[in-house]
A and B are shown apart, each in its own frame.
Chain A
Amino acid sequence: MKVKESEYLKLKKPILKKLLEKLLAKYEYASILANDSKSTNYRVSKTGTNISEDGTLSERGFCVKVYDNGKAAEYSFSAIEEDTVDAVFDEITKRLDTLGKTLPEGVTAFGFDGVEDEKLYINESTEYEVDPEEKGDNNIIDLLTRISEKGRAYDEKIIDCSVAFSYQKYSKIFLSRNKDLTQNVMWSCGYIVAMAKDGEEIQNGYKPVSMLGGIEVLDTLESNLADACKTAIELLSAEPMIPGEYDCICEPDVTGMIVHEAFGHGVEMDMFVKDRAQAKEFIGKQVASELITMHDGASTIPQVATYFFDDEGVAAHDTIIIEKGILKTGICDAQSAMHLGVAGTGNGRRQDTTRKAYTRMTNTIFEAGTSKVEDMIASIDYGFLLCQASSGMEDPKNWGIQLMVDIAREIKDGKLTGKIFSPIVLTGYVPDLLKSISMISDSIEAGGTGYCGKGYKEWVKVSDGGPYIKARIRLG
């Protein structure tokens, strides 16, 4: 079934068109993004049960963008009615005219020579099998409770098992002089976090699921329960890593973190505008092994960051960033594209309508290769299988890697020994790691239970993943 269009936005659209008309009479460019989004989180653990709307993802809001003599300005608001169009217009112009009258010494306002607004019409919806609202909160909580209780009974060392489900269903419309866009999207995700305790130390095993769609995402969650519990218990006896450079096999979620954190952030082209990304100097050059082809795009794969147009009214793309090891291009929001004189790639995203749009990743992956995972492990004399990615931080300027994974499983003479090390910090220089990739498995997995920030804020839903990869990595 297709996600239905918001009745609220249908009612507001003619009112927003009136506001747009007034704005276009004053400014050379004006657009309005409207969002009606509902996101609910369900979580069950030993500490209790929670059902709540997500404050970050749920909103009914509007964002106006104008170019005034080429200078960009935006205004966010949360209410408009037929009889308040003039008042909203007056408030927008008053607030935007006042701000920036006084600038720091030596600072000027940047103005573009012209703003393009290509003709575009979109009205699309994603598909789902079962709407969480139709499934009913009681059935969702019953399922999560059953899994949580089973997890808590798995072993006496398991002190809690948190099981969660969340979804977002949103409708967006984007209006400008030449654009009339509507999209209706729903994604869902869930996870199990099993917590094991020994003395003062607590470790966790984490198993996520995610998809573009509805509550059918939970069909596979329970089958991951035993793995989550086993991992948490195993980690209690993990040894600290002996720092060094090793041959490593990365599971798809660790590959995904490398794709996203280590490389993806470096090709966000708003960083090119600021001269903050080394990748700008490497377009057309080899940055990775010839085995590597990397994509990003809202239309690359059906996952949690799939949409039909971005928050600046640019149609979704599937951008090939690296092709056979050669860096082809970055990804771009509309204003950065104007700065750089290139076409936007549909990557202008806002956390919500109260936030600025930045260049953001969507669904970011490495393509599959031809190797079998067992052959990859068998090829290692001494090294590690890296599992359970936990966090990472970008460094577009210097292409430094900082990634954390929870588990390194020891491999000796081509076999897993059962010995594990934790926690693990991956460091090094991004192109060195990517160029060292020597084997890639023959299928990919991607997921997106987490959020991506720009620096330390501006959270948006993303997915990432890829195949198992074999690489030489510095671990600590």
Chain B
Amino acid sequence: MKDKIIASLKRLNIEEYIISITSYKSAQMFFVKKSLDCKRAENTKTYNVNVYRSFEKDGQKMKGNSSVYVYNGMTDAEIDASLSRAYLAASFVCNPTYDLMECTENKFITMESDLFNYTLEECCEKTAEALFAEDNREDVFINSAEVFAYESNVEILSSTGIESGYTKRSVSGEFVAQCKEPQDVETYKDFRYNDLDCESLKAKVRQTLEYTIDRAKATEAPKAGKYRVIISDSYVNDVFSYYSGRAQAGYIYAGYSTFEVGQNVQALNADGEVAEVKGDKVSMTLVPTEPLSYEGIWQRELELLDNGVLKTYYGGLRFSRYLGIEPTGFFGCVNVAPGTMSVEDMKKQPYLWVVNFSDFQMDDFTGHFGGEIRLAFLYDGEKVTPVTGGSINGSILDSQTNMHFSKEIQKSADFVGPYAMCFEDVPVAGV
């Protein structure tokens, strides 16, 4: 099929293109309580062709592009028809011209992972085994779970000579923990690892089961007001997405973000004025989860923020070219430097520690963050009470100059950084 696509591109005189070929193999298991309810296997392959067309409009050089999928079993005539329609469509896409990624080095690599020591079926089964290993209590249990083991094989070919690719494995899934007494409650958690990290998964299950017991005891919502709020686990990563979102080349080019390289972006308030950063300063590195982007960019770690100061913009090919920066691609993982305060230190003053939201949202346009509280621990200075209900309605623009990060860290496939963070005076809608 690859040769048929290239032959078609030649027949149609399409000079610039990027072809992405992705093969997936997977093994999947779906559990309800202690039953395997369904199992699945997959073996699929997709071909995506992005065609580019250079032209002039009103005296300005343009480059349009359009992408289509080509499928196994398509005849030469069908491929020609699909690609020629895409090529025509590209002539209506009036974007200022830019250069495609040059070929610097062609190679095919297999990303390191101990998952390659097993078959996909074994990866799936061993992950399921780790997931259920902690499910041995009577008061709380795993209600349902899904486990996936994936192998993806990606190949990128371009008109500029790129012919590279990689093979990657991962395991992922989700589970719901349930506790029936004193009230029937549940907690949802998902997971993703690039190695067979059974111990991390067991720890996640263990903690989720504990939190679910706490939630079963929680009946009251916190009173409405402003609180010193602590969040932990994956919600910490969500908050930091504000900085990575606003530093994207696309946001900068469009004027959605006023972040400037060399500027202390953590010191900006809602009016765009600079304030003193009294809390911990954000130091952040972007880490690729795939070595090669779909545009043929070999990806490497990128320092984004150093003590709140923006070091660089980042992004895909087109907007990076427009801004005159090196194209970096996009990043699936963020590393954030931990703070100096321990979680125990954070908990010395009154706090509302939210350990589970129904759905936490961080809006990198408005800076608002929040969500409904599924489980939080409220410390009023005397005692700790589990609470549920109400919602957090904060703004990073109001909070970022006075937030603290824990020195304890968490690790997952998409985040390495503080386990918890703390904000002052966050509005909470409660009873």
Q: List 20 A-B contacts (CB under 8 A).
A: A47-B254, A73-B39, A73-B40, A74-B39, A77-B42, A107-B132, A110-B32, A110-B35, A142-B92, A200-B269, A202-B365, A240-B427, A243-B224, A276-B143, A276-B186, A356-B30, A393-B359, A397-B185, A398-B186, A425-B370
- Find out whether the CB atom of B39 lies under 8 angstroms from the CB atom of A425: no
Q: Are A108 and B393 in contact (CB under 8 A)?
A: no
Are the CB atoms of A159 and B94 closer together than 8 Å? no
> In the complex, A60→B68 CA distance in Å?
13
Please, which residue of chain A has its CB at the minimum distance from the CB of B96? A48
CB distance A102 to B125 under 8 Å?
Answer: yes
Is the interface on chain B under 10, 10 to 19, 20 to 34, or 35 or more residues? 35 or more
Contacting residues, chain B, for A423 (C-beta < 8 A): 363, 366, 368, 393
Q: Which residues of the partner chain A approach B188 to less than 8 Å between Cβ atoms?
A: 455
Give min CB distance, B245 to chain A, whole Å: 11
Q: Tell me the smallest distance from the CB of A190 to a CB of chain B, in Å.
A: 17
From A47, A393, A455, B250 is in contact (CB under 8 Å) with A47
B88 touches A425 (CB 8 A): no
Known: A243-B427, A356-B28, A398-B185. A393 touches B73 (CB 8 A): no
B69 at the binding interface (Cβ < 8 Å): yes
Chain B residues contacting A53 (CB-CB under 8 Å) are 48, 67-69
- Chain B residue with Cβ nearest A145: B94
CB <8 Å contact, A99 and B124: yes
B255 within 8 A of A: yes
Chain-B contact segment, one of A22-30, A90-98, A251-259: A90-98
CB distance from B408 to the nearest CB of A (A): 26
Task: Identify which of residues 99-153 in chain B touch chain A, using a CB-to-CB cut-off of 8 Å.
Answer: 119, 121-122, 124-125, 128-129, 131-133, 135, 143-144
* B131 and A104 contact, CB distance less than 8 A: yes
A115 is an interface residue with CB less than 8 A from chain B: no
Check: A345 CB closer than 8 A to any chain B CB.
no
Report the Cα distance A389→B367, complex, angstroms: 18
Taking a contact as CB atoms under 8 Å apart, the answer to whether A354 and B38 are in contact is: no
Q: Is B93 at the interface (CB under 8 A from chain A)?
A: yes
A197 with B271, Cβ < 8 A, contacts A104-B129, A240-B393, A427-B389 known:
no
Assuming A45-B254, A76-B44, A159-B256, is B397 touching A141 (CB within 8 A)?
A: no
The size of the chain A interface, using a CB distance under 8 A, is: 87
Q: Taking the complex as formed, is A341 at the interface, i.e. its CB lies under 8 A from any CB of chain B? A: no
Chain B residues with CB below 8 A from A274, complex form: 32-33, 143-144, 176
> Which residues from A are CB-within-8-Å of B66?
51-52, 137
Query: Judging by beta carbons under 8 Å apart, are A273 and B92 in contact?
Result: no
With A354-B24, A427-B389 in contact, is A76–B34 under 8 Å at CB? no
Partner of A78 from B26, B46, B92, B253 at Cβ < 8 Å: B46
1/0 contact string of B183-211 vs chain A (CB within 8 Å): 01110101000000000000000000000
B interface residues (Cβ-Cβ under 8 A, vs A): 24, 26-46, 48, 50, 64, 66-69, 71-73, 85-86, 88-95, 119, 121-122, 124-125, 128-129, 131-133, 135, 143-144, 174, 176, 178, 184-186, 188, 190, 224, 250, 253-256, 258, 268-272, 318-319, 358-359, 361, 363, 365-368, 370-372, 374, 389-391, 393, 397, 427-430
A:189-226 near B, CB below 8 Å: 195, 197, 199-204
The answer to whether A58 and B38 have CB atoms under 8 Å apart is no
Decide: A137 and B92 in contact? CB cutoff 8 A.
yes
Q: Is the CB of B397 within 8 A of A98?
A: no
Is the pair A100, B185 in contact by a Cβ cutoff of 8 Å?
A: no
Q: Contacts A197-B255, A197-B256 given; 20 further ones with Cβ under 8 A? A: A47-B319, A73-B40, A74-B41, A79-B73, A96-B41, A98-B119, A98-B121, A99-B121, A101-B121, A102-B129, A106-B135, A107-B36, A160-B254, A199-B270, A201-B366, A201-B367, A243-B428, A356-B28, A423-B366, A427-B429
Residue in A55, A159, A203, A427 whose CB lies within 8 Å of B391: A427
**A72 is an interface residue with CB less than 8 A from chain B:** yes
Chain B's closest residue to A54 (CB) is B69
Q: Report B414 CB to chain A, min CB distance, Å.
A: 13
Interchain CA distance A329-B339 in the complex, whole Å:
52
Contact check, B43 vs A74: say whether CB atoms are below 8 A apart.
no
The reply on A179 being an interface residue by CB < 8 A is: no
Surface stretch bound by B, among A120-128, A166-174, A293-301, A399-407 = A399-407
Q: Is the CB of A401 within 8 A of B429?
A: no
Contact A109 B359 (CB under 8 A): no
A89 within 8 A of B: no
Tell me the complex Cα distance, A398–B187, Å: 11
- A51 and B89 within 8 A (CB): yes
Question: Which residue in B91, B144, B429 is a CB contact (below 8 Å) of A425?
Answer: B429
Closest Cβ neighbor of A105 among chain B residues: B132
A448 to B45, CA, bound (A): 30
State A99–B122 Cα separation when bound (angstroms): 8
